[in-house]
Amino acid sequence: MVKNKRIVRYPEPKPEQINPLDGIVLEEGAGAPSSSSARAASSLHLAYENTAYGIWLYNDNCLTVLDAIAARYPEGRFDMIFADPPYFLSNGGITCHAGKMVKVDKGEWDKSRGWEWNHEFNTAWLERCQRVLKPNGTIWVTGTHHVIFSVGFAMQQLGYKILNDIAWEKPNPPPNLSCRYFTHSTETVLWAAKTGKSKHVFNYRLMRETNGGKQMKTVWRMAAPGNAEKVHGKHPTQKPIALVARCILASTGEGDLVLDPFLGGGTTLIACIRLNRRFVGIELERHHLSLTFTRADAELVATVLRSLRVTMEISIFFQNDLDPPGRSMDRIGWMKDDGPKTDCIFHETKFVFLSCAVVSSASVVHTTVDVSITEAWANAPEGKKRETTHIVRCKTEIFKIKEHQ
Residues 277, 396 within the same domain: no
> Does the pLDDT value for residue 351 go beyond 90?
no
Instruction: Show the CA angle centred on residue 134, arms to residues 142 and 136, nearest 5°.
Output: 80
Q: Which stretch, 37-51, 108-122, 165-179, has highest mean pLDDT? A: 165-179
Residues 213, 76 within the same domain: yes
Residues 47, 121 within the same domain: yes
Residues 350, 302 within the same domain: no
Cβ-contact 246, 252 below 8 angstroms: no
- Mean pLDDT (the chain) is 77
Look at 297 and 305; give whichever has higher pLDDT.
297
Tell me the pLDDT band of 168, cut-offs 50, 70 and 90. Answer: very high
pLDDT digits (tens, 9 = 90+) for 12-23: 333 343 443 445
Look at 40 and 181; give whichever has higher pLDDT.
181
Cβ-contact 109, 285 below 8 angstroms: yes
Cβ-contact 326, 376 below 8 angstroms: no
Does residue 373 fall inside a structural domain? Answer: yes
Does residue 315 fall inside a structural domain? Answer: no
Burial 151-174 (b: 16+ CB within 10 A, else e): bbebbeebebbebeebebebeeeb
Residues 222, 354 within the same domain: no
Look at 261 and 334; give whichever has higher pLDDT.
261
Tell me the pLDDT band of 132, cut-offs 50, 70 and 90. Answer: very high
Q: Which stretch, 189-198, 225-234, 367-376, has highest mean pLDDT? A: 189-198
Residues 303, 340 within the same domain: no
The span from the CA of 88 to the CA of 281, in Å, is: 21
Tell me the pLDDT band of 337, cut-offs 50, 70 and 90. Answer: low
Does residue 326 fall inside a structural domain? Answer: no
Does residue 314 fall inside a structural domain? Answer: no
> Does the pLDDT value for residue 367 go beyond 50?
yes
User: What is the percent of the chain where pLDDT is above 90?
Assistant: 38
Residues 303, 170 within the same domain: yes
Stretch 310-328: mean pLDDT: 37
The CB density around residue 124, as the number of other CB atoms within 10 Å, is 14
Stretch 150-171: mean pLDDT: 96
Residues 87, 191 within the same domain: yes
- pLDDT given for residue 405 in this prediction: 52
- Both ends of the chain: CA-CA distance in Å? 24
Residues 265, 396 within the same domain: no
Tell me the pLDDT band of 156, cut-offs 50, 70 and 90. Answer: very high
Does residue 273 fall inside a structural domain? Answer: yes
pLDDT digits (tens, 9 = 90+) for 266-303: 999 999 999 999 999 999 888 888 888 888 888 887 77
CATH number at residue 184: 3.40.50.150
Strands 78-83 and 257-260, sheet pairing:
parallel
Cβ-contact 224, 240 below 8 angstroms: yes
Look at 76 and 365; give whichever has higher pLDDT.
76
Residues 133, 238 within the same domain: yes
User: What is the percent of the chain where pLDDT is above 70?
Assistant: 72
Does residue 369 fall inside a structural domain? Answer: yes
Does residue 322 fall inside a structural domain? Answer: no
> Which residue range(s) make up the domain with 352?
336-401
- pLDDT given for residue 5 in this prediction: 45
43-47, 129-133, 251-255, 379-383: which has the minimum mean pLDDT?
Answer: 43-47
- pLDDT given for residue 37 in this prediction: 46
**Number of structural domains the chain divides into:** 2
> Does the pLDDT value for residue 31 go beyond 50?
no
Tell me the pLDDT band of 197, cut-offs 50, 70 and 90. Answer: very high
- pLDDT given for residue 150 in this prediction: 94
- pLDDT given for residue 80 in this prediction: 98
Cβ-contact 384, 370 below 8 angstroms: no
Does residue 323 fall inside a structural domain? Answer: no
Residues 217, 340 within the same domain: no
> Does the pLDDT value for residue 7 go beyond 50?
no
Cβ-contact 57, 289 below 8 angstroms: yes
Look at 185 and 354; give whichever has higher pLDDT.
185
pLDDT digits (tens, 9 = 90+) for 58-117: 998 899 999 999 998 999 999 999 999 987 764 555 444 555 554 445 556 456 677 788
> Does the pLDDT value for residue 24 go beyond 70?
no
Strands 161-169 and 219-221, sheet pairing:
parallel
- pLDDT given for residue 362 in this prediction: 64
- pLDDT given for residue 328 in this prediction: 35
- pLDDT given for residue 352 in this prediction: 84
> Does the pLDDT value for residue 369 go beyond 50?
yes
Stretch 149-157: mean pLDDT: 97
Residues 140, 10 within the same domain: yes
- pLDDT given for residue 2 in this prediction: 42
